[in-house]
């Protein structure tokens, strides 16, 4: 055989996209079953809490009626939960029970390719879901600026952030039940204290400064910038929030992939 | 397809390869050379380190020491390039349970950068090659053990590999399927593939392997062609019988021949067949027989003491 005929490994980008494609293939088989709850849940939240409870709340938040105030938070929580489930339960099951990764490792894929592809998939799911939720919001008249076309991109990076964070958790977890701690102790407070239900400025005891340190605050403010407009931001420096989200997405994404690579080596 | 003239001439070369898991040294300074086109049989008792060694060669597991080259490349630092040219059948079936039979092959192809109509045709050809046509759109969970192994072999061939690594490819299969797989492997060997075959079936090794290595507690303790391996370690003939209640006779035989005992069976090795036939008459043996010494005898002799220790 001449050297020209030797099979070469595909480049990194092709390999990572192939992993992405694997997830897409699996997912698209059960698209309706998977996407329906992911879209219905935020819709219920908006209808029940925003429109229902909101009728009793006559105060304006950040100059918005209650359901409009909630819109950004609904987008943020959708991405957070989508990416978190995929990168914790999803990744753990593939790692432990299905051994999907073991077969993939026999191909030119490296460990880093596998998890980079998976993170990319988390981002894509967030992109898709935030887009759909944004359309639902628009249907209810909760989208006030044309900058909302940026929602898919924000959804993508938000999901990279929470996907990376989820990977960090998965890389330490030995028992699938332990993810419950992450969801109740780690993620639920993010929903409650990051300005989804009420503005963080109203938090007592200086807790608002704690909120500023949470990634979710920056995610929600970023969504609020493009859905409601800068006039309705919680803080005057809200313009910085998108950059914080980008930075955290890069940092947690990289760290998460590294941690999972380390775990799969063992 | 693969002319022997191409450099390098070795499919696999290992020098002093070491793998540790904590305190345990699973692979201990192993030296192996597998020339191209050769089928190398790897034998060894459970836990000997066969899978660990195979995984290091398959660029799936990093090593802790030594030099390892696969097709002249380092399987860890150049893992993607190495894996692009390998086919691997792992111990235990690791399929993508979320994908059906056909997609398991199609998606795997993408990991090698393969797609398109010509590739899909190839997938059909491979399914046919392993007699799984018609199963394409079914779930992998619905396949029998034998079908799953055949699908594994088809998947390992998807990239036209130059080297095949097979870890117990026929364990747990019925004799028909096993023979069918041997036939498949022989065809592949004729096409010039180099094969590393790990097995617990001596017959499998004897039928397929050109060279055989015996791994024991992480060490390669013997290596040669099957015939030479037998000749080097045992006289050519063996008398085998039920050892219970034959202690006196065994002592007597031990004066003139080498005697081995594994469980309830006694094995008396001797250069001359007729001598052994005469000895049969000496005792009221149950199930006695005289036969040529086999690979299994060598295997038991070299590794058989584990259970007593
Ligand atoms: N990931 C791991 N972590 C810790 N120990 C391991 C790991 N993998 C293998 N071992 C140990 O290394 C030794 C060699 O295992 P290996 O699987 O290579 O044996 P084997 O020869 O393939 O055995 P078998 O015939 O049972 O398949 C065993 O003692 C095993 O317990
Ligand atoms: Mg093994």
Nearest-CB residue to B58 (from A8, A99, A106): A106
Tell me the average pLDDT of chain A. Answer: 89
pLDDT tens-digit series, residues A182-219: 999 989 888 888 878 788 877 778 788 888 889 999 99
Cβ neighbourhood burial of B90 (10 Å; 0-12, 13-18, 19+): buried
Alpha-carbon gap: B174 to the closest alpha carbon of chain A (Å) = 24
pLDDT score, position B139: 92
Quickly state the pLDDT bin for A266 (edges 50, 70, 90): low
Mutation site for B-interface testing, chosen from A11, A86, A99, A108 by largest number of B Cβ within 10 Å? A108
Contact (Cβ atoms closer than 8 angstroms) between residue B32 and residue B220: yes
How far apart, in whole angstroms, are the C-alpha atoms of residue A42 and residue A136? Answer: 9
Mean pLDDT confidence for B139-155? 91
Q: Is B3 on the interface with A (CB under 8 A)?
A: yes
Q: Which residues of A232-252 are buried (b: 16+ CB within 10 A; e: fewer)?
A: bbbbeebeebbebbbebbeeb
pLDDT at A99 over 80: no
Q: Is B209 left (phi over 0), alpha (psi -120 to 50) or beta?
A: beta
pLDDT score, position A120: 97
pLDDT at B243 over 90: no
pLDDT score, position A2: 43
Quickly state the pLDDT bin for A30 (edges 50, 70, 90): confident
Contact (Cβ atoms closer than 8 angstroms) between residue A126 and residue A82: yes
How far apart, in whole angstroms, are the C-alpha atoms of residue A39 and residue B96? Answer: 27
Tell me the average pLDDT of chain B. Answer: 90
Residue B11 CA, ligand 1 centroid: distance in Å: 24
The pLDDT > 90 percentage for chain A reads 54
Three-state SS for B260? strand
Q: Which residue has the tokens 């894509």?
A: A124
Nearest-CB residue to B95 (from A1, A103, A107): A103
Q: What is the pTM of this model?
A: 0.88
A6: chain B residues, CB-CB within 8 Å:
85
- The full set of domains in chain B, from first to last, is 10-224 (3.40.50.300), 235-292 (3.30.70.980)
Q: Quick one: tokens of B149?
A: 């192994």
Residue A126: CA count within 13 A, CB half-sphere: 35
Q: Taking CA atoms, what residue in B is nearest to A6?
A: B85
Q: Which residues of A212-226 are buried (b: 16+ CB within 10 A; e: fewer)?
A: bebbbbbbbbbbbbb
pLDDT at B124 over 60: yes
H or E segment and range at residue B68: strand B65-70
pLDDT at B308 over 60: no
Mean pLDDT confidence for B223-246? 90
Mean pLDDT confidence for A75-104? 89
pLDDT score, position B7: 59
The pLDDT > 90 percentage for chain B reads 64
How far apart, in whole angstroms, are the C-alpha atoms of residue A61 and residue B92? Answer: 59
Q: Quick one: tokens of B224?
A: 């040669």
């Amino acid at each position: 055989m001449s050297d020209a005929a030797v099979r070469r490994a595909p480049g990194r980008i092709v390999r990572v996209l192939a992993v992405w494609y694997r997830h897409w293939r699996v997912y698209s088989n059960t698209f309706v079953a998977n996407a329906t709850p992911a879209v219905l849940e935020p819709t219920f939240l908006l209808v029940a809490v925003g429109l229902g409870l909101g009728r009793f709340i006559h105060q304006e938040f950040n100059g918005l009626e209650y359901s409009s105030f909630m819109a950004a938070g609904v987008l943020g929580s959708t991405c957070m939960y989508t990416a978190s489930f995929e990168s914790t339960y999803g990744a753990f099951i593939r790692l432990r029970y299905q051994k999907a990764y073991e077969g993939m490792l026999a191909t030119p894929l490296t460990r880093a390719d596998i998890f980079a592809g998976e993170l990319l998939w988390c981002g894509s799911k967030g992109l898709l879901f935030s887009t759909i939720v944004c359309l639902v919001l628009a249907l209810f008249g909760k989208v006030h600026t044309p900058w909302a076309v940026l929602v898919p991109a924000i959804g993508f990076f938000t999901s990279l952030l929470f996907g990376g964070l989820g990977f960090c958790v998965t890389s330490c977890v030995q028992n699938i039940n332990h993810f419950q701690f992450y969801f109740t102790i780690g993620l639920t407070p993010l929903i409650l204290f990051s300005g989804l239900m009420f503005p963080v400025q109203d938090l007592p005891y200086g807790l608002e400064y704690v909120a500023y340190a949470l990634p979710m605050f920056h995610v929600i403010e970023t969504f609020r910038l493009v859905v409601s407009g800068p006039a309705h931001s919680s803080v005057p420096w809200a313009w910085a929030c998108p950059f914080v989200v980008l930075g955290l997405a890069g940092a947690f994404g990289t760290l998460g992939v590294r941690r999972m690579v380390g775990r799969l080596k063992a | 397809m693969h002319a022997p003239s191409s450099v390098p001439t070795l499919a696999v070369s290992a020098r002093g390869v070491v793998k540790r898991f904590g305190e345990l040294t699973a692979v201990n300074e192993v030296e192996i050379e597998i020339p191209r086109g050769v089928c190398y049989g790897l034998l060894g008792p459970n836990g000997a380190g066969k899978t660990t060694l195979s995984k290091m060669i398959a660029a799936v597991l990093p090593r802790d020491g030594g030099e390892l080259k696969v097709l002249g490349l380092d399987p860890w630092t150049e893992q993607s390039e190495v894996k692009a040219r390998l086919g691997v059948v792992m111990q235990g079936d690791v399929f993508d349970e979320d994908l059906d039979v056909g997609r398991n092959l199609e998606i795997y192809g993408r990991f090698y950068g393969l797609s398109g109509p010509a590739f899909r045709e190839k997938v059909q050809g491979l399914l046919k090659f392993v007699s799984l046509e018609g199963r394409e759109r079914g779930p992998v969970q619905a396949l029998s053990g034998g079908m799953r192994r055949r699908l594994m072999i088809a998947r390992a061939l998807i990239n036209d590999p130059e080297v095949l690594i097979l870890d117990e490819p026929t364990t747990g299969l019925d004799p028909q399927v096993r023979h069918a797989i041997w036939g498949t492997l022989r065809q592949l060997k004729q096409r010039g593939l180099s094969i590393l075959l790990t097995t617990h079936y001596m017959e499998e090794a004897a039928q397929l392997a050109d060279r055989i290595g015996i791994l024991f507690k992480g060490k390669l303790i013997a290596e040669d062609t099957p015939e030479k391996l037998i000749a080097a370690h045992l006289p050519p003939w063996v008398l085998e019988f039920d050892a219970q209640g034959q202690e006196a006779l065994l002592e007597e035989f031990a004066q003139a021949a080498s005697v081995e005992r594994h469980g309830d069976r006694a094995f008396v090795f001797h250069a001359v067949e007729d001598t052994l036939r005469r000895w049969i008459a000496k005792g009221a043996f149950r199930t006695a027989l005289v036969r040529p010494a086999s690979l299994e005898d060598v295997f038991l002799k070299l590794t058989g003491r584990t259970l007593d220790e």
